[in-house]
Chain A
Amino acid sequence: MANGTVALEEKSFYEESTNKYSGILSWLLTTDHKRIGLLYLVTICAFFIVGVILGILMRLELIAPGPTIMEAQTYNTLFTLHGVIMIFLFIIPGLPAIFGNFFLPLQIGAKDVAFPRLNLLSWYIYVIGAILVLISLFLPGGPIDTGWTFYIPYSVRSTTNVSLAIFAAFVLGFSSILTGLNFITTVHRMRAPGMGWFRMPLFIWSIYSTAWIQIIATPVIGITILLVIMERAFGVGIFDPALGGDPILYQHLFWIYSHPAVYIMVLPAMGVVSEIIPTFARRTIFGYKAIAFSSLAIAFVGYLVWAHHMFTSGISDTARWIFSLLTFIVALPSGVKVFNWVATMYKGSIDPKPPFLWVMSFIVLFSIGGLTGLVLGSLATDIHLHDTYFVVAHFHYVMFGGTGTIFFGALFYWFPKMFGKMYSIKWANISVALFFIAFNMLYFPKFIMGYMGMPRRYFDYLPEFTNLQVISTVGSWLMGITMIIIFANLIYSVKKGKKSPENPWGGVTLEWHTASPPPLENFHEIPTVTHEPYDFSQLEEMKHESK
């Protein structure tokens, strides 16, 4: 496939930079998509860890009824910050910005993205947004306490630093838009010769669909946020019922973005799954086109289901059953994917290495999250479950159990490619197992509590919930330990790990056709693509390629 041979003494992108600086400046001013991907990796992981700590603190508060380690107001700011950090700083940028940046050009056989400087700018905008969030914590007025949804009218009345914090979300949206348009242009313009649309790896399809959602949906939240800020600053009246405005309109506009945003979160994860399964099952993916088009279908239908977050807000019955129906329909393309993945594994020769185990964990957790989503999507049950712990459990299962799991799956899959090192497989296996146990301990009780009527966003609860709350809190400790194991394993391996073989898993997509870590411009010569993306008959040829 790649007709350039890789010289062994070649310099990697760590040793060669796009600018004349060395040390930290060569990173901060880099336009190399791989370095930018790593910049994102470091910043996003840092915020993820902060978010996890906030989560664990909340769980600690909930270990016993009544105030335990904090008062109600502190709890309010904690869940808001936890939500804002996890959503806007971790899960939305997570997979596209880190792995999309690093692997999109590699997988389509390009030297870089279409607009490398814009790419760096996006990272800076992300950092500025993040800094604004941090500043808002320390200014007089105190940290924002509205919940990550910033619902009107409270977000206008609250005396905390709402304006700055949501402006930060606006800025982060900008970063997301620029990344999206960069990726779309890259996919259209930079594919290597021979890589037609249906020879693109499925990760690319998912990143491509995601990029479209980023572009289409994000401006809507942008304008909505600006209006909330104006409302706070000038009292324009657009969302204020006292002046004739309509708070429900805010909810519509908010979810017109934020529901498609959940597909920004999950589509790239599905793409990674479609990469990992063929590699470890040694079989070409089952139903390539079905998976590719289901990504587009999800991107499209996902746009039309936003009002299922608002079933109890007083919207009309007609609107409710239409949105409920559409919600059920969006489950179909997701189902298509799950069945295709399972069919790919059927009769494959499965090699259960850590990335594959992460995927197994994903399929189970994501299916639970998806199916409980249907419970919330039906009108009658939603009336009972709206704003309870059931919802909290549901979205942690999809976001954390789905995308979060695959965040680690992708990290463990591509780690050898990104760093040229191998981590401890044993500890990686242990962390997957622990993660699975901790996760279910932490969140499954929340389904039950929610069903029993425990509302979300409360720092206190009735004594009968104590047992389940304690289980959940212990789960959060176990989760904390798992995170420590994962990061310790990876960080240790970056520093002291064994050198990894060029192609440790036997992957065949283009990123495995070049050195690990890749050279500055990825390939010696732009490869010419002659195979389908998951054609494992190439493995033999590839052995000769790099020697």
Chain B
Amino acid sequence: MNQSSHAPAVEQHAHRDDIGAKMGMWLFLFTELLLFGGMFLMYAYYRFQYPDQFKIAAMELSTSMGTLNTIILLTSSLTVAIAITALRKGNRFLALLNLFVTIVFALAFMVNKLFEWSAKISHGIYPGSEDILNKPNGEILFYGLYYVMTGLHGLHVIIGVVILSFMFVFIYKGSVNKDNFMKLENSGLYWHLVDLIWIFLFPLFYLIH
């Protein structure tokens, strides 16, 4: 960073700048982290205020369901990474296959989530319900945070499915290929982020009793 150091010699005629694209993506992921950061802050604050009630409420959540979803999501991170490597090495079929598996995993995650939520809702546990308003404040907040945070995360999973499906089509059509795979790599980064956030949500809601 000294005065004489030259600016990166970007070939400005080509509109393509892979490093730039990746940098933009990282910056975007950074904003996503901060978005969830606000929520983690709230979680920390309320857990500190109502430690006992948080504990009781957390016992209601099914650890096995959460574990299953964690395994699903972690594996899907692996498959997306394989897809990227496969494409870089020119194995289009393997890339498509793994991308497909990733999408299936993502959908499985959502289905699982759906079961989980609907079970809770049928027990009358959802924001604003009569049952929940009879519970102590800490439990109300726990479930409030639970729905908001996993909901927001679920939304990201759905967006991820859409993005990955587009990538599938692009690879199929060949516009994303061995020499031009930045889009896929950035989508992969996004998917890892979705995964990473879940890895924090999982212990906070399902494991710490």
B107 at interface (Cβ–Cβ under 8 A)? no
**CB-defined contacts of B42 to chain A, threshold 8 Å:** 227, 238, 249
Once the chains bind, are B35 and A246 in contact (CB under 8 Å)? Answer: no
Q: How far is the CA of A243 from the CA of B142 in the complex (A)?
A: 11
Q: Please determine whether A236 and B17 come into contact, CB atoms closer than 8 angstroms.
A: no
Known: A185-B23, A219-B34. A246 touches B7 (CB 8 A): no
Q: Is the CB of A196 within 8 A of B3?
A: yes
Q: Does A224 contact B (CB under 8 A)?
A: yes
Does A182 count as interface, using CB distance less than 8 angstroms? Answer: yes
A253 at the interface (CB under 8 A from B): yes
Q: Do A249 and B45 touch (CB < 8 A)?
A: yes
Question: Are B34 and A220 in touch, CB under 8 angstroms?
Answer: yes
Given contacts A196-B4, A196-B5, 16 further A-B contacts (CB under 8 A): A181-B27, A184-B23, A184-B27, A189-B17, A190-B20, A194-B7, A199-B3, A215-B31, A219-B31, A223-B35, A223-B38, A227-B42, A237-B127, A238-B46, A245-B144, A253-B38
Q: Which residues, 218 to 261 on A, are CB-close (under 8 Å) to B?
A: 218-220, 222-224, 226-227, 230, 234-238, 243-246, 249, 253
Q: Which of B12, B28, B137, B152 has the most chain A CB atoms inside 10 A of its CB?
A: B12
Surface stretch bound by B, among A110-118, A400-408, A469-477, A492-500 = A110-118
Chain A residues packing against B (C-beta within 8 Å): 110-111, 114-116, 118, 177, 180-182, 184-185, 188-199, 215-216, 218-220, 222-224, 226-227, 230, 234-238, 243-246, 249, 253, 526
Verify B3–A195 contact, CB threshold 8 A. no
Q: Please list 24 pairs of residues, one from A and one from B, whose beta carbons are closer than 8 Å in the complex, sorted by A's number.
A: A184-B27, A185-B20, A189-B8, A189-B17, A196-B2, A198-B2, A198-B3, A215-B27, A215-B31, A219-B37, A220-B34, A220-B37, A223-B35, A230-B127, A230-B148, A234-B126, A236-B128, A238-B141, A238-B144, A243-B137, A244-B138, A244-B141, A253-B38, A526-B12
- Taking a contact as CB atoms closer than 8 A, the residue among B19, B20, B32, B148 that contacts A236 in the complex is B148
Q: Distance in Å from the Cβ of A15 to the closest Cβ of chain B?
A: 22
Chain B residues, CB < 8 A from A192? 7
Residue on A nearest B5 in the bound complex, by CB: A196
List of A residues within 8 angstroms of B2 by Cβ: 196, 198
B12 contacts A181, CB within 8 Å? no
A177 touches B31 (CB 8 A): yes
Please name all residues of chain A whose beta carbon is closer than 8 Å to the beta carbon of B145 when the two chains form the complex. 238
Give A223 to B155 CA distance when docked, in angstroms: 14
**Contact between chains at A223 and B140 (CB < 8 Å):** no
Q: How far is the CA of A390 from the CA of B7 in the complex (A)?
A: 47
B127 pairs with A194, CB closer than 8 A: no
Name the contact of B45 in the complex, choosing from A115, A237, A246 (C-beta under 8 A). Answer: A246
Interface residues of B in 4-59 (CB under 8 A from A): 4-10, 12, 15, 17, 19-21, 23-24, 27-28, 30-32, 34-39, 41-42, 45-46, 49-50
Residues of chain B within 8 A of A215, CB atoms compared: 27, 30-31
B117 at the interface (CB under 8 A from A): no
A181: which B residues are within 8 A, CB to CB?
Answer: 24, 27-28, 31
| Nearest CB of A to B12, in Å | 6
State the Cβ distance, A114 to closest chain B Cβ, in Å. Answer: 5
B119-146 contact mask (Cβ, 8 Å, vs A): 1 or 0:
0000000111000010011101100110
Q: Are A218 and B31 in touch, CB under 8 angstroms? A: yes
Q: Within 8 Å CB of B208, what residues of A?
A: none
Does A245 contact B38, Cβ atoms closer than 8 Å?
Answer: no
* Contact among A191, A194, A198, A237 for B141, CB-based, below 8 A: A237
B147: interface (CB < 8 Å): yes
1/0 per residue B145-167: CB within 8 Å of A?
10110001000000000000000
CA gap between A191 and B162 in the complex, in Å? 35
A501 to B197, CA, bound (A): 56
* List of 6 A-B pairs having minimum Cβ-Cβ separation, nearest first: A244-B137, A191-B7, A236-B144, A223-B38, A219-B34, A219-B35
Report the Cα distance A463→B130, complex, angstroms. 51
Q: Is the CB of A114 within 8 A of B20?
A: yes
Most interface-central of B10, B31, B37, B38 (chain A CB within 10 A): B31
Query: A194 contacts which chain B residues (CB < 8 A)?
Result: 6-7
Q: Is the interface of A mostly helix, strand, loop or mixed?
A: helix
Query: For this complex, into which size category does the number of interface residues on chain B fall?
Result: 35 or more
Contact B140 A244 (CB under 8 A): yes
CA distance A393 to B154 in the complex (A): 45
- Give the distance in Å from the alpha carbon of A33 to the alpha carbon of B5 in the complex: 27
Whole-angstrom CA separation of A249 from B46 in the bound complex: 10
> Smallest distance from the beta carbon of B43 to chain A beta carbons, Å?
10
Q: Which of A189, A222, A227 contacts B10 (CB 8 A)?
A: A189
Residues of B within 8 A of A195 (CB): 7
Q: Which residues of the partner chain B approach A182 to less than 8 Å between Cβ atoms?
A: 24
How long is the Cα–Cα vector from A196 to B137 in the complex, in angstroms? 56
Asked if A188 contacts B23 (CB within 8 A), the reply is yes
B39 touches A223 (CB 8 A): yes
Q: Which residue of A lies closest to B35 (CB)?
A: A219
Shortest Cβ distance from residue A36 to the other chain B in the assembled complex, whole angstroms: 16
Contact indicator A188/B20 (Cβ below 8 Å) = yes
Minimum distance in angstroms from B113 CB to a CB of chain A:
18
Least Cβ–Cβ distance between B60 and chain A, in angstroms: 17
- Assess the B138–A189 pair: CB atoms within 8 A: no
B9 to A, closest residue via Cβ: A193
Nearest-CB residue, chain A, relative to B25: A181
Taken together as a complex, chains A and B put the C-alpha atoms of A258 and B41 apart, in Å, by 17
Given A181-B24, A235-B127, also A216-B34 (CB < 8 A): yes
Q: What chain A residues lie within 8 Å of B5 (beta carbons)?
A: 196-197
Whether the pair B23, A189 counts as a contact (CB closer than 8 A) is yes
Instruction: Find the B residue at minimum CB distance from A224.
Output: B38
**Which A residues are in CB contact (< 8 Å) with B147?**
234, 236
Which of A118, A184, A234, A238 is the one whose CB lies under 8 Å from B128?
Answer: A234
Smallest Cβ distance from B75 to chain A, in angstroms?
Answer: 29
* Chain B: CB-nearest residue to A526: B12
- Using Cβ atoms and an 8 Å threshold, which residues of chain A touch B39? 223
Task: Give the Cβ gap from B178 to chain A, nearest Cβ, in Å.
Answer: 23
Residues of B within 8 A of A184 (CB): 23, 27
A177 cross-chain contacts in B, Cβ below 8 A? 28, 31
CB nearest neighbor in B for A186: B20
Partner of A244, one of B36, B50, B148: B50
Query: In the complex, which residues of chain B have a beta carbon less than 8 angstroms from the beta carbon of A230?
Result: 127, 148
Residues of chain A lying within 8 A (CB to CB) of residue B128: 234-236
